[in-house]
Amino acid sequence: MPQIFHRSFNVISRLSIFGALFILVGLLWVVGKLNRSPYMTGAGVPRSQPVPFSHQHHVGGLGIDCRYCHTSAEDSAFAGVPPTKTCMNCHNQIWSYSAMLEPVRESYRTKTPLAWTRVHNLPDFVYFDHSIHAAKGVGCATCHGRVDQMPLTWQVATLHMEWCVDCHRTPERFVRPRDQVFNLAWEPPTSPAELNALSGRLGLAPLADSSELGKALKIKYRIGSPERLTSCSTCHR
């Protein structure tokens, strides 16, 4: 039987097959990168607000506690957005004629809430409770980052499920003493003297090093097993 195609077509067909595979793998890599990029997740992108509120100034500079504005973070599923009255507690005396703060004054005069842009917005099918995380010793900075260093607020994590599951698998890496949950700058002590003083204050057995602190707090705060924390029904109800 005569050969229909020239022998060179064998090379072309092989190159086509391998080329198609490389293109497919490349496309999958691009999609994966895009899915984790700030364009899709919003991580690292400051959100515009009706008033350019600076956590760096209010928290880092003035030392205002998170709970002064986010009053329900300890006892509710939602941290809460402060009403305009909270802003005016200070700004009826400080910067009371600033043009930048006119939206705040207008909101107070008209009793119309400011339309803040939500920074951390989980899908509706995800159940998240601020209060249980605070009660178990998860610090604000663990999820929100060092907001005390942010002139404008942005999301620091992807909020992808894998990010949540990573914490739920090994919570001992992230928990801290409950009285340090709202201390954004807290770091575990490294010196034996400081570590022993902390363990004594918390009623823990002497710790060999700071890596043992999270494990001890996990037991003290009765944090569930990884199997329970990574169960689908924990976050999807």
**pLDDT tens digit string along 107-134?**
999 999 999 999 999 999 999 999 999 9
Looking at the structure, tell me whether residues 72 and 87 fall in a common domain: no
Secondary structure class of 18 (helix, strand, coil) = helix
Looking at the structure, tell me whether residues 105 and 214 fall in a common domain: no
Looking at the structure, tell me whether residues 95 and 109 fall in a common domain: yes
Residue 35: its pLDDT value, please? 76
Contacts of 232 (CB under 8 A, 6+ apart): none
Looking at the structure, tell me whether residues 62 and 162 fall in a common domain: yes
Residue 144 lies in a domain: yes
Looking at the structure, tell me whether residues 130 and 28 fall in a common domain: no
Residue 172: its pLDDT value, please? 95
Residue 11: its pLDDT value, please? 66
Residue 210 lies in a domain: yes
Looking at the structure, tell me whether residues 220 and 126 fall in a common domain: yes
Residue 139 lies in a domain: yes
Residue 41 lies in a domain: no
Residue 21: its pLDDT value, please? 81
Looking at the structure, tell me whether residues 152 and 179 fall in a common domain: yes
- Distance, CA of 67 to chain centre: 17
Looking at the structure, tell me whether residues 210 and 172 fall in a common domain: yes
Looking at the structure, tell me whether residues 106 and 192 fall in a common domain: no
Which of 97, 115, 133 lies at the terminal end of a domain, its last residue?
Answer: 115
State the residue range of the domain holding 166. Answer: 55-81+119-235
Looking at the structure, tell me whether residues 125 and 165 fall in a common domain: yes
Strand partners, 175: 138
Residue 228 lies in a domain: yes
Spans in the chain with pLDDT lower than 50: none
Looking at the structure, tell me whether residues 104 and 144 fall in a common domain: no
Residue 40 lies in a domain: no
Looking at the structure, tell me whether residues 61 and 109 fall in a common domain: no
Residue 111, φ and ψ in degrees, nearest 5: 60, 35
b/e map 165-185, b = 16+ CB within 10 Å = eebbeebeebbbbbeebbbbe
Count structural domains, the chain: 3
Residue 49 lies in a domain: no
Residue in the structure block whose two tokens are 């698998």: 169
